[in-house]
Structure 1
Amino acid sequence: MEIQVHELFFLVFAALGYVILQSLFILGVRIAAKGGTEVLPDGRDKDSEMILYPLFKYLSRVRHVKVYYSGEQWDILFEKLQQKLKNDTLVNSGNGLIYDNSSPEPGERIRQVLKEIDEKISMETDDKGVTRCYKTDEEYVVNKYFRKPVIQCQICMASYWSVFGYWIPMFYFFGFQIWIVYFGILNICAVSCVNWLLWMRGSAHEALIMKGK
């Protein structure tokens, strides 16, 4: 069966229109999840009233993990400390240091020097007098391969939400066909690109409005 030119044009136009519709739906979901959490004077959290923000907040939970300096990175940091604290006696104990307690406030000087090197570096001293340096890292509780496609990344969301916008309808009406798989991959790529383009344009327009205020 031959496809006429006007039929081909209609199919292409319909496909592009459907891609845009999917993109608008996905971006609508993402916009409905925008917001923030305000800490009230009594310590309670007040979430944004956007309807999907609680889901976004739940999937974006993080835990704080101490990452201690060790190995080569610790040796580099210890060398910097020695250069800045030439008048203090510092002993490298492996992945930590021991300082001379006879000098006045040695711990405070080390803490100040660490802030000069990197404001994110903290220190703690154990019962044996060994001081270890660390940074606090944020780790997401929910795996990125779930939270990003669901609601956190407007580009990645094309993969998850295409299940409802493309795969289920296509398999329902046409059954399993190999061409549906090929077009499904193209559909995800196209929707991702449109999502990125519209989101960037929208963000730029929002920034101009906020700047005008």
Structure 2
Amino acid sequence: MKEKSYHCSAQCFSSDWERHKICHHNAAAESKTNLENQKELLRRSGSWPQSLEEIPEQEGEEWVQVASSETYEPSNDDINTLLMLECVAIDPENGNRLSQVQRRVITNPVIAFLVCSTRRMIDIGSNDDGSAFSVLSYNILADIHAKSYLRCPTWALEWEYYKLKLGKEINEYDADTICLQEVQENHYEDFFEPELTSRGYSALY
């Protein structure tokens, strides 16, 4: 939303909800329109295929091999270009191909990495007698609610992407006790419980 709104009480918020709801609706529609405009611009420039199966053929452009490895991390040079992954069987001794291309996958255009602002932490001091301990309280934004979150690009709200970011940041705090809010039961069982127990925590849902 471009226009911020503030409410002095729950009753005030409730009475103003109909107007407030329209603001949310308009913001969502504007965001969707902007995204489609960006996609159309990329399509016209030959950088965005109509489908992942299409390989754009533009005069003067060609595929350039950037790596030959099991993994590849895009660089700034890859931004706004497509990446094509080819899977083949390779002889580990001499590097010769043992088969033709077994699978080919083409990505969407590479986007610039999301730069997160540094959190401003407040130091409340600690005791010198060794009795201090740390507690982390973290609302992770449940995936079932994330799709309607308008302040973040949709690709960054894909669970397979942002669960890794969550795990990395939570691990960096190295807190003695971790309290998480908005945790889906299946995500607790499939991700958080194994992650936390592997780091020595006792997990409880």
Q: TM-score, normalised by structure 2?
A: 0.26
Q: TM-score, normalised by structure 1?
A: 0.25
More strand by share: 1
More helix by share: 1
Q: Which structure's relative contact order is higher, taking Cα pairs within 8 Å and 6+ residues apart?
A: 1
Larger radius of gyration: 1
